Structure 1
Amino acid sequence: MNIYLPSAVSLPIPDDPAVVDPKLLNQADQACTAKLGGYRVDDRSPAVQRAFAELWDKTGLKCQPINAMQLVAEVLPLFAMFLALEILGWPSFGELASTTASTKSKEISKLTVDAGKEIARLGMHGEIGKKVAEFMTEEGWVGALFGAEQACRPCDLVAFCRYHHGDKVLEQNMDILRECLKVVQGEGKGMEAFTNLIPRVEEARRT
């Protein structure tokens, strides 16, 4: 879930008052949606986690507690996914999941999953990271994206991801991945797929 000032968002808004009341949107201080589940808070500080959950649950959207290491092991590989989508020009997730997906899409999908596994297996993620990597597949990746895209309708999830991860925080995403590379160098591990993604993004942004 992400929250922005409405004036800062330039996403397609459904022209249907039953879906989005334009008057309320213009009057709002913040706009949010949580169609992909509740807010997840890690357990590094159990007291803070419980206090936040108590407040957040009053919104009607459940706060989901999660192990801190598991959260990081699950989230960091997503940044490889955002790089892949940038390379492909942010296609619809349905297009990626299609049996007629382009050769380039299939190639990048495989590279992305391999990179995600490399990130998950970093030593700092321990055994949890290894287990996360075991469940990563190309079919699972594109299937999850397509499912999320459908769940978010009528909101355009691809447009949001492109706005947020392809523009607003792209450089921050790259910084996070560069930090991962430093960890790799410290552990003496190879990350062939992951290191191949970064120059592909830079090339895509130049064209």
Structure 2
Amino acid sequence: MSEDRKPRILIIGAGSMGILTGYHLGLAGVDVTFLIRPHRAKALDNPQILYCYDDNKLKEYKGYSYITNPLLIAGSNYDYIVIALDGASMRNEAGVDLVKTIGNATRGTNTKIVLGAIFFDLRSWFLQVSGLAEEQVTNGHLDIHAYSTKALTLPVEPPVDPSLIAKADFAYTDKLEDGFTVDDSSPAVANGFAKIYNANGISTCAVKPALECAVAINPLFPVFAACELMGWPKFQDIEREELWSHVVASVREIQELNIHGELGKQAASATTEAGLAAALVGWEKLMIPFDLQAFNRYHHGEKLKSQGREHLQACISYGAAEGKPMPALKDLLRRVQEHAVAAA
């Protein structure tokens, strides 16, 4: 990338992750283009209005462009492509076709890929389907919690201003240590993206070891499954009884998978019922006045429900390949599936 021109980044998907990532990249001076479905074009023809819980103010995001045809990726010479789709969408028929199109368009070029989806061992799958080189692709995820105000209404606590939220397209909070994280599966991709993102001046992108990210993220999905069974209570109100013991056993089973190496085994030995509960309560308190569990009910319990189920099944499959029966996780997934049938 020449030092005398703006970085050019394509973001695939203009949901909450795509828009918030684009907003911060725009503040960093990036030329941002979105690849969207045609029905989203009308919405993106107008500036995106964002409500920030952290300062109770509205932000305006404009100055981006968009395309609706994936074939236009070829020859566009983007510096980075950020895939802001969920893991289930990436792996369905349309998603596989898109991944192949990305591979064909960027193979042998200098375009680098950040996989923004969360899914078990997603990068290995993406490399196989796309045919891209390992040094061209890394994992990433948005740590900013964001949602479409048209899809979700969260409970309001002072000083949140509901009249401002009503004017916004998306609402978000950037309360965690970093707003975006990339892992070092491909250090050059990760470090280059972080440098660009961090020029925005208000949110930071961290580069972390890939194993550390996997061990932190993959075991969260049993927690979301159990919350669905319990009706999404606040973390501080969860009763640590039989189901919670099952959750912690499931978390340990995932941590102990060989893909997580020695770090996973160390995490499993340190995971306790009280410790996990305390960590979740701490996360919840940090996010106030943003209602974390109301967000999780929508984000993980509705919007990304398929991703969560498939993630748990993938963990079970990897365990089977390693000769590990994963009894707690299997039973938890069975309970969730039966619960969904009963609720239908």
Name the TM-score class by shorter chain.
Answer: 0.7 to 0.9
1:91 to 230, 233, 236: 233
For residues 190 and 54 of structure 1, the distance between their equivalents in structure 2, rounded to whole angstroms, comes to: 43
User: Residue in 2 aligned with 1:12?
Assistant: 155
Which ranges of structure 1 fall in alignment gaps of 5 or more residues? none
For residues 244 and 201 of structure 2, the distance between their equivalents in structure 1, rounded to whole angstroms, comes to: 37
- What amino acid does structure 1 have at the position aligned with 2:324? K
User: Residue in 1 aligned with 2:173?
Assistant: 33
Shift of residue 119, structure 1, vs aligned partner: 0.5
For residues 55 and 6 of structure 1, the distance between their equivalents in structure 2, rounded to whole angstroms, comes to: 28
For residues 167 and 188 of structure 2, the distance between their equivalents in structure 1, rounded to whole angstroms, comes to: 35
For residues 241 and 206 of structure 2, the distance between their equivalents in structure 1, rounded to whole angstroms, comes to: 33
CA RMSD of aligned residues (A): 2.0
For residues 281 and 169 of structure 2, the distance between their equivalents in structure 1, rounded to whole angstroms, comes to: 31
TM alignment of 1:73-112, pairs within 5 A: 73-96=215-238, 101=239, 105-112=240-247
Answering whether residue 325 of structure 2 is matched by residue 193 of structure 1, we say no
Provide TM-score, normalisation by structure 1.
0.86
TM alignment of 1:168-179, pairs within 5 A: 168-179=303-314
Answering whether residue 292 of structure 2 is matched by residue 157 of structure 1, we say yes
Aligned residues: 197
Which ranges of structure 2 fall in alignment gaps of 5 or more residues? 1-143
TM alignment of 1:113-132, pairs within 5 A: 113-132=248-267
Contact 2:173 2:290 in 1 (8 A): no
Instruction: Give the number of the structure with larger relative contact order, counting CA–CA contacts within 8 Å between residues 6 or more apart.
Output: 1
Shift of residue 28, structure 1, vs aligned partner: 4.4
For residues 259 and 333 of structure 2, the distance between their equivalents in structure 1, rounded to whole angstroms, comes to: 21
2:202 to 60, 66, 73: 60
Answering whether residue 178 of structure 2 is matched by residue 43 of structure 1, we say no
Deviations 1:23-66 (A, max 9, x none): 4x455454321223212211112222222222332242222221
- What amino acid does structure 2 have at the position aligned with 1:46? P
Shift of residue 75, structure 1, vs aligned partner: 0.8
- What amino acid does structure 1 have at the position aligned with 2:193? F
Per the alignment, do residues 138 and 4 of structure 1 end up closer, same or farther by CA in structure 2, a change over 3 Å counting? same
Per the alignment, do residues 152 and 2 of structure 1 end up closer, same or farther by CA in structure 2, a change over 3 Å counting? closer
Shift of residue 113, structure 1, vs aligned partner: 0.9
Deviations 1:64-116 (A, max 9, x none): 221112211221110011111111111111112xxxx3xxx411111111111
- What amino acid does structure 2 have at the position aligned with 1:35? K
For residues 31 and 170 of structure 1, the distance between their equivalents in structure 2, rounded to whole angstroms, comes to: 21
Deviations 1:107-130 (A, max 9, x none): 111111111111011111111211
- What amino acid does structure 2 have at the position aligned with 1:153? I
For residues 230 and 168 of structure 2, the distance between their equivalents in structure 1, rounded to whole angstroms, comes to: 34
User: Residue in 2 aligned with 1:147?
Assistant: 282
Per the alignment, do residues 148 and 22 of structure 1 end up closer, same or farther by CA in structure 2, a change over 3 Å counting? same
Per the alignment, do residues 115 and 45 of structure 1 end up closer, same or farther by CA in structure 2, a change over 3 Å counting? same
Structure with the higher strand share, 1 or 2? 2
For residues 41 and 59 of structure 1, the distance between their equivalents in structure 2, rounded to whole angstroms, comes to: 18
Of all paired residues, the percent bearing the same amino acid is 37
Provide TM-score, normalisation by structure 2.
0.53
For residues 29 and 48 of structure 1, the distance between their equivalents in structure 2, rounded to whole angstroms, comes to: 31
For residues 37 and 68 of structure 1, the distance between their equivalents in structure 2, rounded to whole angstroms, comes to: 18
For residues 147 and 193 of structure 2, the distance between their equivalents in structure 1, rounded to whole angstroms, comes to: 20
Computing the radius of gyration from Cα coordinates, the structure with the larger value is 2
User: Residue in 2 aligned with 1:204?
Assistant: 339
> Which SS does the other structure have where 1:36 is aligned?
coil
For residues 27 and 128 of structure 1, the distance between their equivalents in structure 2, rounded to whole angstroms, comes to: 45
